[in-house]
A and B are shown apart, each in its own frame.
Chain A
């Protein structure tokens, strides 16, 4: 079954507002990663948070991880039209699955200028 599930499926906000996307997963993980996909393009890695970390920042991005609830959130502050894209969370397992990332279905973010 699918490991990561993003919520909401689609999000539309005005430029300058903050955007929050959530990801829930089912099994224990080694780390969780967020990727962005612009329309018609490949995925671009945004941030990786390990299971022993609770929060991580990168520029306007803030990611939190709650392993007790098996959930993560991605916050984009002061959004720009260029942030319009689909955002995916991906989970990495330990051990035999260590080479594998399991992706969710993504949140489609639209930032209106």
Chain B
């Protein structure tokens, strides 16, 4: 069974469009994250939710809006897509406070290409 899943795996779209990426974890974890990995493989935290509450919101354009309908899901909606949004987006989860307390479990990633 897939622990952290993301859909879609690939997303190709035009500039200016709005798109969403979905993430689900079946591990019973409290905390979920969105990361962006650029072309140089640098992985940067975007958002973190703990029990559906936003706890980390790094400097990300407000075109990016996370939504957590329940503890097992954290979706990422992106408005007015720009060329610079092209990257691989990873969802991750952890049992609780996945930094100090324990490791994070990553999804397979969504490769977003903006044309």
Chain A positions near chain B (C-beta within 8 angstroms): 2, 30-31, 33, 35, 37, 40-45, 48, 86, 88, 92-94, 97-103, 105-106, 108
Contact = CB atoms under 8 A, between A and B. Distances in A.
Interface of B: 4, 31, 40-45, 48, 50, 55-56, 90, 92, 97-109
B101 A100 contact: no
Contacts of B109: 40-42
A42 B90 contact: yes
A87 to B, nearest CB: 11
B108 A99 contact: no
B50 A99 contact: yes
Contacts of A44: 106
A93 B104 CA distance: 14
Of A37, A41, A43, A45, most buried by chain B (CB within 10 Å of CB) is A43
Contact of A99 (B40, B55, B103): B55
A101 B106 contact: no
Given A100-B45, A102-B45, A105-B42, A45 B104 contact: yes
Given A42-B4, A43-B90, A88-B43, A101 B99 contact: yes
